[in-house]
Amino acid sequence: MEFSDPELFTDFTSGEIRGSAVDRAERTLADLSGVFADTAALAAMAPRTLVYRTECVFPVAADTPAGLFWGTTFIEPGKVGAEYFMTKGHFHARADRMEAYFTFAGTGVLLLMDRAGSCRAERMVAGSTHLIPAYTAHRTVNTGASVFSFGACWPSDAGHDYGSIAERGFGVRVVERDGEPALVSA
Ligand code: S6P
Ligand code: ZN
């Protein structure tokens, strides 16, 4: 038997994943209609503006029981009006599935919302580790001036329920106020 080289590398300073099986996706402002509150500010921005991108590894098919997915999300610095760039946010389609997040670079916020609509906001800084409970929607926000990147590991049968967030929204938004991030009720 011989040693084999790793098939994947994660750069823990940036979150970049290197390997043959990395799936890349991008979300621009045009992909995020209904996400940001200030529609007038949004209309004045270029729809092709990149908001975030993902690098993911899916070693098994989606819906496979007991498999794991692994990926990094990179959120650009920016705002729509006063509201910082953020992800769409989702519950898991199998809502009892947990997820782990861990920050590589930049500063951000993890917004969490339970099924009753009760929200929490955790600061994310390099090394911070966040265990997202079952039945909890999650959205991440870049509150800094540089790219904010974090890793994620989640069950391959978790799936994504974006519809509930599209209908209900999150109960809290993160905006810049006097040059600092602030939480406002939505
Ligand atoms: C998947 C995990 C992340 C997000 C990514 C983008 O369960 O939570 O990989 O997919 O941060 O966020 P969203 O809300 O657009 O999927
Ligand atoms: Zn998730």
Q: Residue 123 has which token pair?
A: 């600061």
Residue 182's pLDDT is: 98
Residues 7-34 pLDDT 10s: 999 999 999 999 989 999 999 999 999 9
Q: Residue 7 has which token pair?
A: 């098939």
Per the listing, tokens 């760039």 go with: 85
Nearest alpha carbon, ligand 1 atom 2: 152
- Predicted TM-score (pTM) of this structure: 0.98
**Ligand 1 contact via 94 beta carbon (within 6 Å):** no
**Ligand 1 contact via 88 beta carbon (within 6 Å):** yes
Residues 65-88 pLDDT 10s: 999 999 999 999 999 999 999 999
Ligand 2 center–CA 142 separation, angstroms: 17
Residue 175's pLDDT band (boundaries 50, 70, 90)?
very high
In sequence order, what are the residues at sequence separation of 6 or more whose Cβ sits closer than 8 angstroms to the Cβ of residue 40? 81
Residue 100's pLDDT band (boundaries 50, 70, 90)?
very high
Fill in the DSSP letter of residue 157: T
HEC secondary structure over 29-69: HHHHCCCCCCHHHHHCCCCCCEEEEEEEECCCCCCCCCCEE
Residues 104-138 pLDDT 10s: 999 999 999 999 999 999 999 999 999 999 999 99
Is the pLDDT at 159 greater than 90? The verdict is yes
Pocket of ligand 1, candidates 73, 98, 99: which has the most ligand atoms within 8 Å of its Cβ, to mutate?
Answer: 73
Ligand 2 center–CA 91 separation, angstroms: 7
Nearest alpha carbon, ligand 1 atom 4: 73
Residue 171's pLDDT is: 96
CA atoms within 13 A on the CB side of 77: 10
Per the listing, tokens 């009753």 go with: 116
CB-CB contact of 152 with 70 (8 Å): yes
Is the pLDDT at 5 greater than 90? The verdict is yes
What number does the ligand 1 atom closest to the CA of 132 have? 8
Determine whether 74 is exposed, middle or buried from the number of CB atoms within 10 Å of its CB (0-12, 13-18, 19+). Answer: buried
Residues pairing with 57 in the sheet:
22, 70
Residues 37-65 pLDDT 10s: 999 999 999 999 999 999 999 999 999 99
What number does the ligand 1 atom closest to the CA of 90 have? 14
Residue 20's pLDDT is: 84
Q: Residue 161 has which token pair?
A: 């329920």
